[in-house]
Structure formats: structure tokens, C-alpha cells
């Protein structure tokens, strides 16, 4: 089974998302940063590594939002609002990723437009666990 992680990263009530070309879909997507867990790698370590590689963000802490499985894919979702630094991306040769920040309000307005279940799940779980502030303080 292929294992990946996705990270819902928030700083100052803004969500860190990535825009990238997905050849298999023949389109550009907006999604949570993340990637494949290497053999014998802990999911937490994958989250830390992929967030830094794809976005340059370094986070001090991650909260496990849970795992879901779809066919032969296992996705572990993480949350962080503990971004301590921003550095240069460290992309693979075949990656072209643009880092984008969106307000929580904008994410809620566009979440269906992006058509990415992982964003929807991560935000829903984070709201339910009261991990997000801003527009969700009264939820």
C-alpha cells in the first residue's frame, strides 16, 4: 500500500497551500503540501520533511489528524500552527510548486473549487478539534 502524508499548515490565520502541475490529472492543482512516506520512515518525519521541501516551512510541532484509506492509498493528515521559519524550497527535479497563502475565510469559500478531499477533511477535522482560530472561534 502506498503511504502519503498531507499537512494543514496555518500561520497568522492563513493556510499554506501549494499549486502544482499533476501530469496524471493533466491539470494544475491546489492542495495541501505533502508527499510519499519512504520505506521505514515515520509519518511524522515525512510530514516535517515534505513541508520543508515543498514550501520551505519549518514547523516545531505537528498534530495527527488521522488516517484514511482509499483503494491502495493510505493518507495520514497532520496539522501545524507552529511554523518557526521559512526557507527556500528544496524541490525534486520534476517538481514545479508554487507556495500560496490563503486566509481561512478564502479557504472556506474555495474549498469545493479546488476539489481536493484532503483539504476538506483536514479543515473539517481541525475545525471539529478547535485547532483553527479566526473565523472559527465561535464554532
Q: What is the pLDDT of residues 19-68, one digit of tens each?
A: 998 888 898 999 999 999 999 999 999 999 999 999 999 999 999 999 99
Looking at 79-88, 89-98, 107-116, which range is the least confident one? Answer: 89-98
Q: Please check the confidence at residue 135 and state whether its pLDDT lies above 60.
A: no
Q: Which stretches of the chain are DSSP H helices?
A: 43-55, 104-114, 117-128
Q: What per-residue confidence (pLDDT) applies to 139?
A: 47
Class of domain 2-134: alpha beta
- Residues 98, 100: Cα–Cα separation, whole Å: 6
Percent of all residues in the chain with a pLDDT value above 70, rounded to a whole number: 95
- Domain segments of the chain: what residues? 2-134
Considering the entire predicted model, what is its pTM?
0.92
What is d(CA 60, CA 83) in angstroms, rounded to the nearest whole number?
6
Amino acid at each position: 500500500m502506498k503511504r502519503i502524508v498531507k499537512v494543514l499548515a496555518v500561520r497568522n490565520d492563513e493556510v499554506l497551500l501549494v499549486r502544482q502541475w499533476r501530469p496524471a490529472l493533466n491539470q494544475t492543482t491546489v492542495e495541501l503540501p505533502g508527499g510519499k512516506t519512504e520505506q521505514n520512515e515515520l509519518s511524522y518525519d515525512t510530514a516535517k520533511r515534505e513541508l520543508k521541501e515543498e514550501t520551505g516551512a519549518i514547523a516545531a510541532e505537528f498534530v495527527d489528524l488521522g488516517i484514511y484509506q482509499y483503494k491502495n492509498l493510505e493518507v495520514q493528515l497532520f496539522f501545524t500552527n507552529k511554523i518557526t521559519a521559512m526557507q527556500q524550497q528544496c524541490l525534486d527535479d520534476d517538481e514545479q510548486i508554487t507556495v500560496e497563502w490563503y486566509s481561512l475565510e478564502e479557504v472556506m469559500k474555495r474549498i469545493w473549487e479546488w476539489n481536493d478531499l484532503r483539504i476538506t477533511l483536514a479543515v473539517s477535522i481541525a475545525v471539529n478539534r478547535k485547532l483553527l482560530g479566526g473565523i472559527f472561534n465561535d464554532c
